[in-house]
Structure formats: structure tokens, C-alpha cells
Amino acid sequence: MAKRWRLFRGTSDLYIGKSTLFKSFLLVGVAAISATFIWYTLTVIDQLKRDTRSQVGKYVMLWQFAANTNISGPELQFIFDSIIVKATFPIIVVDNDRIPRHWRNIHGIEPTDTTSATIALLKEEGEEMRRENGEFPIHFGENYVNYLYYGNPELVERLQMMPFVEIGLVLAFMLVGVIGFQNIRRSEERLIWVGMAKETAHQLGTPISSLMGWTEMLASDDRLCDPDNKKALAETIENMSVDIERLHRVANRFGQIGSVPELTPSDLNRTIRDTVTYFKRRLPFEGKGIQLTFTEGPIPHVPLNTELFSWALENLVKNALQAVDARTGRVSLSTALGANGRTVVVEIAYNGSVIPAAAVRKIFRPGFSTKKRGWGMGLTLVKRIIEEYHAGIVLLLRSKPGETVFQMELPVVNSKG
């Protein structure tokens, strides 16, 4: 059995390692592709801006030529109709006092709108254009000078949004990918759990049947009925029966993993009390100085699968007993009604070693353990039993020198969400 568990853990670690490597490779690849697209987009935008500035320079030269030349007729009309009027980029022409005199292609403002509010708005937009792209002087005669401000064409404005769109799409893709990987990993872990649970139930079946046969033989063999041996034999049979019943419960627990457990209204205090009694009988093996106590609060019944809940509770108590000092260890359990009256709170507190801050977020993950020889299964099993099977919550409430507290919260019977 130990070999099977080691094989399972090794397979799990290998799977997690490969998954992490693949995700890292995918992340680097996506980041490289995204950076390439963003760099290319910015290069195109920069080229378009340079082309626009070149066009604006020619536009200003033609405007100045048209304003200062003595020619007239079709040539001048062609310059106005085909070049000046048909410019697609936003322009604002101001006089020496920086008052807007002409404008074109300004979003939401007509060229004929000369109200004071419009002039004020054009001043602001013109100043913004000047800060971004500079200004071009337009000379009329020897003394009169206007200045032309220009903005980016609509295509450039759209392209400038592309890096943000690309980053958003990449982040969305990565988010979907992470969620997908997590779902696949959880699915794989569930399959592993179910397979190992069924295998464990099968492996326990043979020794259980054998022990039951030996017990029946011991009870019915007349040769073992010597009065001098009867008391010792009876104690032996009783202890064997207790352990056989224990094995039955273990097999039953593993057999329920992977299926929907049946929950019945149960006395939670009684279930916890039975678990505490079981461990108290074994405290001499854990440490003679350890004290294990249970404070029962007045609580209603909760929907429980007692076998599975006992399993989860035993894992938490066992972890606590292993974490405390054999001479001064204190482990206490308590129950109380939740603040909202719709849940029951169970706390397991002990004065053992502190759980490192770096491990707090990982302790419920499969395969993670702070013990040198731990398999990293106990708390993962606890989380699954409490949260997936009992619709409850389990968490590490706090861990500091002298006090570590785990908390479970379970809904009461007939509670309404």
C-alpha cells in the first residue's frame, strides 16, 4: 500500500511539474507574440504619423502659395478643391493672437459654427494639437502670420487604441487559459482520487475478511475456552473487533469517495465526541503530557455523512496532535452556533508549531505538505469533504506562536440561503 501511495505521489508531482513547465512555456510564448504585435502596431502608427506630418507640411506650403500668389482661375481652384478642402486630418488655423480663424474635420464642430463657446473649445483642442504635433506658420505677405495646428487622422486614432485592445485580448486569453488549466487539473485530481479510493477499498477488503474469520474461530474454538485464558481471550477478541470495525469504517469511507454521499440530520456534538474519545484512548502513544479537550456548544442538528465528516475531523485532530509538544501539548475542540444562526462553527485549536506564512495559501493543495514525510493528502481530503460534500467552509483561521486555529463551518438543517 505504501508503495502505491508513493507511486501516486510521484505521479502527482511529475504531473504538477510538467503542467507548471508547460504553463510557463505558454505564458512566455503568449507574451512574446503579444510584444511582437504591439511593437509592429506602434511602428505602423509612428510611420503614419511621419507621413501625416509630411502631408501637413505640403498642405501648408500649398495653402501659403494659394494665399500669396497672384494667379487665379482653374489652377488655384484645383488647389483648393482637390487638396485643401479634401484634407482628412483635423486642422485649426489661428491668428497671431492665437484666436481660431479656420477649422476643418473637428469632431462635433461645424466649420461655420463661430459661437464663443465653440471658439473656447477650439482653443483648448488647438493647444492640445500644438503640444502633441507642434505648429506650422503660414505667412501672408511680409508681416501677417497665421499658425496651423493639426491632429492625427482617424485611422491613426483607431490604431493607437490597438495596443490596449491587444493587451486586453491577451489578458482575457490568459485568464481563460488559467481557468481552463485549473479545471483540467481539478478533473485529473478527481480521477486520481476516485481511482485511489476504489483501489484502497479493494485492498482493505481482503484483510478485513481474513480478520473476521480469525475472530469467529477464536470465539468458537473450544480449546481456547480454558477459564484461565478466557478473560484475556475476551479482551483480545474485543480489541480485534474494535479494530475490525475500524477497518470497516475506513473501507466504507474510501468507497464513498467519488460518489454523492447521503447526508442525514445528525448530532454534530456526538460525532465530535466519539472522535475525541477515540483519540484519547491513543494519547499515550502520542505523548503522555498532551491534553485533548472538547467544549460542546448548544447547536442544532446539521446534515452530515458521519463517516466522511469523522474522517475529515480525524485528519485535523491528528495533524494537531503531531504538531504539539509531547509534554505540554494542548488540543481543544469546540462547537458554537454561527453569528447568522444558519451555520454551526467547529474550531480545532492547538499550541503547536506555527504554519509558515508562505505555506498558508498552499496547505489545502494536493501534494503539498510541511512534513518531511507527509503525502500532502490530509488537508486536501478535509477541504473536499467539508466544501464539496457538505457545502461548508474550512479554513486556517490564524496561526501564531502558541496558537493555531482551524475552523469549519457547516449549514444547519433546513437553513435557507
Q: What is the residue-level pLDDT of the chain in tens, covering all 417 positions?
A: 444 444 444 444 444 555 566 667 777 777 788 788 888 888 888 888 888 888 788 777 777 776 666 655 565 555 555 555 566 788 888 888 888 888 888 888 887 888 888 888 888 888 888 888 888 888 876 677 888 888 887 777 777 787 788 778 878 877 887 787 777 777 766 666 665 666 566 556 656 766 776 677 666 665 556 666 666 667 667 767 777 777 777 777 666 666 677 889 999 999 999 989 888 877 765 557 889 999 999 999 999 988 889 888 988 998 898 888 888 899 999 999 998 889 999 999 999 888 887 777 777 776 556 665 544 567 888 888 899 889 999 999 898 888 999 999 999 976 444
Question: What residues contact 146, with CB distance under 8 A and at least 6 apart?
Answer: 93, 94, 95, 96, 101, 137, 138, 140
Q: Name the pTM for this structure.
A: 0.49
Question: Using only C-alpha atoms, what is the Rg of the chain?
Answer: 40
Copy the grid coordinates of residue 71.
Answer: 494667379
Cβ-contact 26, 184 below 8 angstroms: no
Tell me which residue of 388, 389, 386 sits closest to 409, measured CA to CA: 386
Q: Which residue type does 295 have?
A: T
Cβ-contact 380, 336 below 8 angstroms: no
CA contacts within 13 A on the Cβ side of 227: 0
Burial class (CB in 10 A: 0-12, 13-18, 19+), 206: exposed
Taking the C-alpha atoms of residue 202 and residue 7, their distance in angstroms, rounded to an integer, is 17
Query: Taking the domains of the chain in order of start, what are their residue ranges?
Result: 2-156, 264-411
- Would you call 332 helix, strand, or coil by DSSP? strand
Question: What residues contact 242, with CB distance under 8 A and at least 6 apart?
Answer: none
- Would you call 22 helix, strand, or coil by DSSP? helix
Is the domain spanning 264-411 CATH 1.10.1040.10? The answer is: no
- Alpha helix (H) residue ranges in 86-222: 116-133, 154-220
DSSP state of 371: S
Cβ-contact 210, 192 below 8 angstroms: no
pLDDT attached to residue 138:
81
